Structure 1
Amino acid sequence: MFSIVEYLSNIVIGFIQETGYFGVFICMVLESACIPLPSEVIMPFSGYVAWKGAMSILGVTFIGALGNLIGSWIAYLVGFYGGRPFLEKYGRYILITEKKLEMAEEWFAKYGHEAVLISRVLPVIRTFISLPAGIAKMDLKRFTIYTFIGSVPWCFALTYIGYNLGPNWSTVESIFHLLDYAVIIGLALLIVYLWRKI
């Protein structure tokens, strides 16, 4: 039976297998630049590829964290130079909703610059925290240090999970078809959302 999730997963795995560390880097840059490509998918798949012997866990972790840093710089600069008005006007085209932006701003306001460090291990917030950091014109050197240090444990944990799933990957693939319904519903909602916005 054809599975959408399995098909997409194989594309990601194939891309990373073909391009190696460069593929991990590019995917993580996009994810951290607020493009909807979750690290929760990228890094475990990279760990699986590492299990197959093409890369090392530590290498994948470092490259993933480096990609996270570069992508976060992009988001930081968008916030720094564009500010909130720019994000309110164009953010919807890359699925930066008002709710997500407010969540990141509240987190940044509550925890200050340390929010950049803490949020790197929190889903959703980790992706968007660079925007309010840029808007607040946080010191770039501190932003860089906090972002990289905070990204390392996140990347390592996800890579390690994928690596350990390696021997049981056939079991994971066997449940992919159950996730197809969620993907179909998600795509339908995304199309409706974009249609209403555009």
Structure 2
Amino acid sequence: MTLLTALASASGVPDSGLAGFVADTMNSLGLLGVGLILAVETILPFLPSEVALPLAGFTASVPGNFSVVGAIIAATVGSVGGALILYWLSRVFGLDRTRALLSKVPLVTARDIDKGVAWFARNDAAAVLLGRMVPAIRSLISIPAGVEKMAVGRFLFYTLAGSLIWNTAWIVAGYQLGSNWEKVEKYAHWLKYGLVISIVAAVAWFVVYKLRSRRSA
């Protein structure tokens, strides 16, 4: 019995469709599959990470598979790799040509791209950090970063931080729920809001701390 069959029989994980494709990829390629799925999801959001990540966590909970820490690392490497591809694509082609190209991709619209650009315009660092934890924006936030030629080091740092937080939350949730991993979807909105509020609070504290330090100086 393959892992996919075991997963399907144990928890009702579909063995067809997009979710079935994700499970089969993780079964066949292991951690490499986790990384590839998240890289592709970052560039082409064909499947919400809120589904792929809990499924990775559940797969890690099955004895004999990769560890939950390995899943988090692989997913984060994949997320950062996919974000870098979009970053360089946007940096080379510019906003108009990148928008025209990606608008042809299913589930990606020019409006979504423009949202990412507007978000980035307010604050590049916070936009990349928080943008990695907001559906629709998380994949496309790399575009304005590339167009505006944000320093690669800064882009990598904030992309890594945001991706690590997002991936860890969803993978651990799927791991803890085990065969009930699909129930994560019921609490998806609350988890999203909690993550965003926590990061916004941290960024606000940092800004206030910096302002006070400058005034004291």
TM-score band (shorter)? Answer: 0.7 to 0.9
CA distance, structure 2, for counterparts of residue 128 and residue 15 of structure 1: 24
Return the alpha-carbon distance in structure 1 between the equivalents of residues 45 and 147 of structure 2: 19
In the alignment, the residues of structure 2 paired with residue 36 and residue 100 of structure 1 have an alpha-carbon distance, to the nearest angstrom, of 14
The RMSD of aligned alpha carbons is: 2.4
Paired letter, 2:123: Y
- What does 1:19-38 correspond to in 2, within 5 Å? 19-38=29-48
State how far apart, in whole Å, the 1-side matches of 2:81 and 2:27 are.
Answer: 22
Q: Which of residues 58, 62, 87 is equivalent to 2:69? A: 58
**1:80 matched residue in structure 2:** 91
Change (3 A) 1:13 1:4: closer
* 1:32-68 CA-partner distances (Å, limit 9, x unpaired): 2234232112111110100103111111111111111
* 2-structure distance, mates of 1:64, 1:170: 18
Greater Cα shift, 161-170 or 94-103: 161-170
Structure 2 match to 1:111: 123
C-alpha distance in 2 between matches for 1:20 and 1:92: 32
Cα distance change of structure 1 residues 29 and 108 upon mapping to structure 2, 3 Å threshold: same
Q: Check whether the contact 2:173–2:181 (CA below 8 A) recurs between aligned residues.
A: no
Tell me how far apart the structure 1 counterparts of residues 161 and 182 of structure 2 sit (CA, whole Å): 34
Matching of residue 127 in structure 1 with residue 139 in structure 2: yes
**2:154 corresponds to:** 142
- Equivalent positions of 1:94-109 (< 5 A) are 94-95=105-106, 96-109=108-121
Q: Give TM-score, length-normalised by structure 1.
A: 0.78
Secondary structure in 2 matching 1:76: helix
Q: Answer whether contact 2:86 2:143 (CA < 8 A) is retained.
A: yes
* Number of residue pairs matched by the alignment: 171
Q: Say whether residues 1:12 and 2:17 are aligned partners.
A: no
| Structure 2 contact 60–68 (Cα < 8 Å) conserved | yes
Q: 1:40 to 1:10 in 2, by over 3 A?
A: same
Aligned-partner Cα distance in 2 for 1:4–1:55: 21
Choose the corresponding residue for 2:173, options 157, 161, 164. 161
After TM superposition, the score normalised by the length of structure 2 is 0.72
* RCO comparison, higher one (Cα < 8 Å, 6+): 1
Counterparts of 1:94 and 1:11 in 2: how far apart (Å)? 19
* Structure 1 residue ranges without an equivalent (≥5): 173-198
Query: Which residue does the alignment assign to 1:67?
Result: 78
CA gap of 1:86–1:10, structure 2 versus 1, over 3 A, is same
Separation in 1 of the partners of 2:28 and 2:69? 19
Please state whether the residue corresponding to 1:113 is helix, strand or coil: helix
Quote the Cα distance in structure 2 between the aligned partners of 1:66 and 1:105: 24
Amino acid at match of 1:60: A
